[in-house]
Amino acid sequence: MTVLLTNLPQLFVDSSELVYAYFRRWPCQEMHRKIQKSVVSINRIAGYFKTKIDDINVIEKMSQLEKRINELIDTLS
């Protein structure tokens, strides 16, 4: 069963014509959207329950902070 809502009066278009037009148009739009998604990998999320990806900025910041902590420990001892 397919339910379609429209504001077109029945004088302009019959319901069977509307269903036919919808199903004739729908695959083209879906295929176009599928191609767009695959080009930019919208359907993939890197690092989400798959492969761990290291954040270079965080690693550098942690390294800098570790060096600073070690310097402070040396000056205090």
- 22 assigned to some structural domain: yes
- 7 assigned to some structural domain: no
- 5 assigned to some structural domain: no
> 43 and 55 in contact (C-beta within 8 Å)?
no
- Give the total number of structural domains in the chain: 1
Report the alpha-carbon distance of residue 18 to residue 11 in Å, rounded. Answer: 12
Report the alpha-carbon distance of residue 4 to residue 54 in Å, rounded. Answer: 48
Q: Whole domain around residue 31: which residue ranges?
A: 15-76
- 31 assigned to some structural domain: yes
Does residue 22 or residue 76 have the better pLDDT?
Answer: 76
Q: Is the dihedral of CA 60, 62, 66, 71 positive or negative?
A: positive
How does pLDDT run across 4-62, given as a tens digit for each residue?
Answer: 777 777 777 787 887 787 777 766 667 777 777 776 666 655 555 566 677 888 889 99
Closest CA to 61 of 51, 53, 69: 69
The pLDDT, as a whole number, for residue 2 is 66
- 4 assigned to some structural domain: no
- 64 assigned to some structural domain: yes
- 54 assigned to some structural domain: yes
Closest CA to 55 of 44, 43, 63: 63
